[in-house]
């Protein structure tokens, strides 16, 4: 099968490695020609900036340039004024790095790289300049020039030679996502979806990853504007589909095996929808006919409606949403793949106000991470100043870099340790180059030929997701530690000192981070779950109508964080994640709040009382089953709403209450005394 793929796709990793090495050599040659003081910074910058996708490379290049410029400017302002008070200088640099790291973690988008780089660039420029503060401006200017040169070369080569656009990658991922969505939809309709919770979570995870990829589209000149617009239009559909499938799974499970035997009309409808899902022709007329058939099956709710009748109505409404969602995804697919105009596509599903781009932010964890970075820097500075070590500046510099780069991980010490191990490997490789391979080299061509095997390998490792961090650590550290200049000037003592300081800085970052911020995935998962319950409490307390988009964005952001940590969540709390129950309950609460404005005072009082009880329970809840007393409050609201035949929003309110009841108490007995349909039967 791999032979059917285009040559450039099959060998994309090797092509990326060759392009990255070519860009690095171009940056090095130009820096040497311009006689820049540290040409190796330009070379290292290529390995930091380069990404397999051209748009991602350009995006990171822009943020890296901004961060470098800001960090250089702060270094020029800070070092000359505090160089005579080393303790204050160290404190100021540590405070700046921690502040920038805090804002980086709170931002949570690719833009956060600019904040983080603004922080540790001051450490990279400022600490080595302490011994020669008069040249701080020249050092900062050189840093900006050399980083800019590396960025330009990386972006130029990436977008000129065999570029890989984000649009093509997004189209490939979307195709896989649609295939998975269709498969899960058919399994749900066949009654096999109850054991597919983890796959629904993965479906959501893939949608969020595709959304992250969209951030770089603004920097991708290879992607058609129609593709970018189509992906934005698909965003709410892709994020909502897993929750709707989970609701369909839940309703079918609640009705049980008798659903197909007692209601043959529904069984035939399920089969027709399944056949339509498989049909790739995607004619809009077929979707409209299905909607008419679904509508014809819907019972009319009113006084005396039984639990089955309410459940079936809820199920059919979710089926209508499923058909609309899949039809829209099918219609927008060609716009993503071929760049056709998506504005001509008439969307069937109305996501109301959409999904706000709200990300989960843990301020406490960000503050701990920032404090840990500051502590690691100050510890290395104390060792440096106390020992009077001439080459000790590398220690706090690397402490700043290590503490910042991996701060977003659950346990940053794992990433820092891995970075340190491969940095040590890079030191060994650099030692072989500096003292065995490079001394005989006398021409630039020979230098490039000698560097090629190692640095092409580093680029190849960078291109593969499983080894990206290894390749980046080797490439960046090898280029930096090799410190290539226009003339060979390697000194073993200086190299050994800087290497030891390098490792000490990483070890300090590990020790301090383990003490201050090594909390692990389970602890973070608990915090995310807790924040989700608080959001549900806020949703239950508010009586407004226009916060659905922001709530959905926030809940999806938290759910994404939980999906990444499922293995670390205790079994007692995992149900809240596997069934997407928090998301479903929250959306039903908001829909219920919207419907409550048109209910009679009796129904309104019962629903408001239930919402207040829910809010109180949610604020004190973290994991495990909800208090059973809430079930009585929900059933009381259901009873009042069922007996309210004059309310225009009666049906919407009932559906919201059903969603809340099933989301919080999926294993509870059926509501009321009716265990089967009262009145009409769906046949």
pLDDT at 144: 92
Averaged over 143-160, what is the pLDDT? 90
328, 213: one domain:
yes
Examine the pLDDT at 63 and tell me if it is beyond 70: yes
Please report which residue ranges of 464-600 form alpha helices under DSSP H: 468-482, 492-517, 520-541, 548-563, 571-578, 581-596
pLDDT band at 27 (very low <50, low <70, confident <90, very high): very high
Q: Return the minimum-mean-pLDDT range out of 85-94, 257-266, 337-346, 361-370.
A: 337-346
547 falls within a domain: yes
Averaged over 279-287, what is the pLDDT? 73
pLDDT digits (tens, 9 = 90+) for 198-209: 677 778 777 777
Averaged over 164-171, what is the pLDDT? 74
Examine the pLDDT at 571 and tell me if it is beyond 80: no
pLDDT at 675: 36
611, 567: one domain:
yes
CATH number at residue 189: 1.20.120
pLDDT at 169: 75
pLDDT at 359: 61
Examine the pLDDT at 307 and tell me if it is beyond 90: no
pLDDT digits (tens, 9 = 90+) for 122-145: 999 988 888 778 888 988 999 899
Last residue of a domain, one of 286, 310, 341: 341
Which residue in 351, 349, 346 sits closest to 331, CA to CA?
346
Examine the pLDDT at 602 and tell me if it is beyond 70: yes
Examine the pLDDT at 8 and tell me if it is beyond 50: yes
Examine the pLDDT at 71 and tell me if it is beyond 90: yes
- The span from the CA of 631 to the CA of 650, in Å, is 20
Averaged over 491-510, what is the pLDDT? 85
Averaged over 112-130, what is the pLDDT? 90
Class of residue 52 by CB neighbours under 10 A (exposed 0-12, middle 13-18, buried 19+): buried
**Token pair in block for residue 497:** 């000192």
pLDDT digits (tens, 9 = 90+) for 511-555: 877 776 656 666 677 777 777 788 888 888 875 555 566 666 666
User: How many CA atoms are closer than 13 Å to the CA of 534, on its beta-carbon side?
Assistant: 9
Last residue of a domain, one of 518, 533, 556: 518
pLDDT at 230: 80
Averaged over 379-394, what is the pLDDT? 83
Which residue in 317, 321, 348 sits closest to 233, CA to CA?
348
Examine the pLDDT at 40 and tell me if it is beyond 90: yes
Name the helix (H) or strand (E) containing 43: helix 39-49
pLDDT at 200: 77
121, 222: one domain:
no
352 falls within a domain: no
155 falls within a domain: yes
Who has greater pLDDT, 121 or 129? 121
Q: What are phi and psi of 490, to 5 degrees?
A: -70, 140
321, 178: one domain:
yes
680 falls within a domain: no
pLDDT at 73: 94
Averaged over 19-37, what is the pLDDT? 94
551, 501: one domain:
no
Who has greater pLDDT, 92 or 407? 92
Q: Return the minimum-mean-pLDDT range out of 345-354, 433-442, 573-582.
A: 573-582
pLDDT at 683: 34
351 falls within a domain: no
157, 238: one domain:
no
336, 410: one domain:
no
pLDDT digits (tens, 9 = 90+) for 325-377: 888 888 887 777 777 777 777 777 765 545 555 566 778 888 888 988 898 89
pTM score of the predicted model: 0.77
201, 313: one domain:
yes
682 falls within a domain: no
Give how many domains the chain has, as a whole number. Answer: 3
628 falls within a domain: yes
Q: Return the minimum-mean-pLDDT range out of 383-392, 424-433, 436-445, 608-617.
A: 383-392
353 falls within a domain: no
Examine the pLDDT at 680 and tell me if it is beyond 50: no
Who has greater pLDDT, 120 or 570? 120
- In the chain, DSSP finds a helix count (H) and a strand count (E) of 27, 0
Q: Return the minimum-mean-pLDDT range out of 94-108, 115-129, 420-434, 611-625.
A: 611-625
Examine the pLDDT at 250 and tell me if it is beyond 70: yes
Range among 39-53, 503-517, 558-572, 587-601 with highest mean pLDDT value: 39-53
54, 144: one domain:
yes
* DSSP letter for each residue of 568-621: GS-HHHHHHHHT-HHHHHHHHHHHHHHHHTTS-HHHHHHHHHHHHHHHHHHHT-
| Mean pLDDT for all residues in the chain | 81
- The span from the CA of 404 to the CA of 93, in Å, is 13
pLDDT at 474: 94
137, 29: one domain:
yes
- Label each residue of 69-109 as H, E or C: HHHHHHHHHHHHHHCCCHHHHHHHHHHHHHHHHHHHHHHCC
326, 375: one domain:
no
Residue ranges making up the domain that contains 605: 521-664
Q: Is 599 left (phi over 0), alpha (psi -120 to 50) or beta?
A: beta
Examine the pLDDT at 195 and tell me if it is beyond 60: no
Who has greater pLDDT, 222 or 249? 249
Averaged over 292-318, what is the pLDDT? 82
553, 508: one domain:
no
Last residue of a domain, one of 518, 543, 565: 518
Examine the pLDDT at 500 and tell me if it is beyond 70: yes
């Amino acid at each position: 099968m791999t032979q059917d793929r285009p040559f450039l796709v099959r060998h994309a990793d090797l092509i990326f490695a060759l392009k990255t090495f070519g860009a690095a050599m171009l940056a090095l040659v130009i820096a040497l020609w311009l006689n820049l003081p540290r040409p190796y910074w330009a070379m290292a910058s290529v390995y930091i900036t380069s990404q397999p996708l051209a748009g991602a490379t350009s995006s990171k290049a822009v943020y890296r340039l901004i961060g470098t410029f800001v960090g250089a400017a702060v270094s020029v302002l800070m070092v000359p004024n505090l160089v005579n008070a080393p303790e204050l200088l160290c404190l100021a640099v540590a405070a700046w790095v921690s502040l920038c790291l805090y804002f980086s973690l709170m931002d949570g988008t690719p833009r956060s790289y600019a904040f983080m780089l603004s922080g540790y660039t001051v450490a990279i420029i400022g600490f080595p300049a302490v011994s020669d503060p008069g040249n701080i401006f020249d050092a900062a200017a050189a840093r900006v020039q050399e980083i800019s040169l590396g960025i330009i070369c990386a972006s130029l080569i990436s977008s000129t030679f065999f570029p890989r656009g984000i649009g093509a990658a997004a189209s490939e991922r979307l195709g896989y996502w649609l295939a998975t969505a269709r498969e899960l939809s058919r399994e749900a309709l066949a009654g096999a979806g109850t054991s597919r919770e983890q796959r629904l979570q993965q479906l959501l995870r893939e949608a969020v990853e595709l959304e992250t990829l969209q951030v770089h589209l603004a920097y991708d000149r290879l992607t058609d504007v129609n593709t970018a617009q189509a992906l934005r239009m698909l965003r709410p559909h892709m994020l909502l589909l897993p929750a709707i499938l989970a609701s369909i799974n839940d309703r079918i499970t609640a009705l049980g095996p008798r659903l197909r035997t007692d209601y043959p009309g529904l069984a035939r409808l399920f089969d027709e929808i399944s056949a339509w899902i498989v049909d790739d022709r995607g004619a809009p007329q077929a979707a409209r006919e299905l909607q008419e058939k679904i509508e014809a099956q819907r019972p009319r709710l009113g006084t005396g409606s039984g639990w089955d009748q309410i459940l079936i109505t809820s199920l059919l409404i979710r089926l209508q949403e499923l058909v609309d969602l899949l039809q829209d995804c099918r219609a927008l697919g060609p716009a993503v793949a071929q760049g056709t105009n998506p504005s001509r596509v008439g969307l069937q599903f109305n996501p109301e106000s959409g999904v706000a781009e709200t990300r989960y932010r843990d301020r406490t964890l960000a503050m701990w991470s920032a404090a840990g970075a500051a502590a690691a820097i100050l510890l290395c500075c104390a060792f440096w100043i106390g020992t009077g070590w001439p080459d000790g500046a590398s220690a706090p510099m690397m402490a700043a870099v290590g503490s910042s780069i991996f701060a977003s991980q659950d346990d940053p010490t794992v990433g820092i340790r891995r970075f340190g191990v491969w940095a040590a490997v890079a030191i060994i490789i650099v030692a072989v180059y500096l003292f065995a391979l490079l001394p005989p080299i006398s021409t630039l061509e020979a230098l490039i030929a000698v560097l090629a095997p190692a640095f092409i390998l580093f680029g190849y490792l960078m291109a593969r997701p499983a080894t990206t961090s290894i390749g980046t650590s080797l490439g960046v550290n090898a280029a930096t530690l090799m410190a290539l200049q226009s003339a060979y000037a390697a000194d073993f003592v200086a190299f050994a000192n800087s290497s030891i300081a390098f490792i000490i800085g990483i070890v300090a970052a590990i020790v301090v981070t383990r003490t201050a911020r090594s909390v692990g995935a389970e602890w973070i998962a608990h915090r995310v779950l807790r924040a989700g319950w608080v959001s549900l409490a806020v949703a239950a307390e508010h009586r407004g109508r226009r916060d659905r988009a922001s709530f959905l964005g926030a809940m999806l952001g938290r759910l994404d964080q939980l999906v990444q940590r499922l293995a670390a969540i205790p079994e007692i709390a995992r149900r809240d994640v596997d069934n997407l129950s928090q998301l479903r309950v929250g959306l039903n609460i908001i829909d219920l709040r919207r419907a409550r404005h048109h209910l009679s005072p009796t129904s309104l009082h019962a629903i408001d009382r239930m919402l207040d009880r829910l809010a109180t329970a949610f604020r004190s809840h973290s994991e495990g089953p909800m208090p059973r007393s809430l079930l009585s409050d929900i059933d009381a609201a259901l009873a009042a709403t069922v007996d309210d035949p004059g309310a225009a929003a009666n049906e919407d309110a009932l559906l919201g209450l059903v969603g809340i009841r099933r989301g919080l108490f999926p294993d509870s007995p059926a509501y009321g005394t009716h265990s089967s349909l009262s009145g009409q039967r769906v046949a």
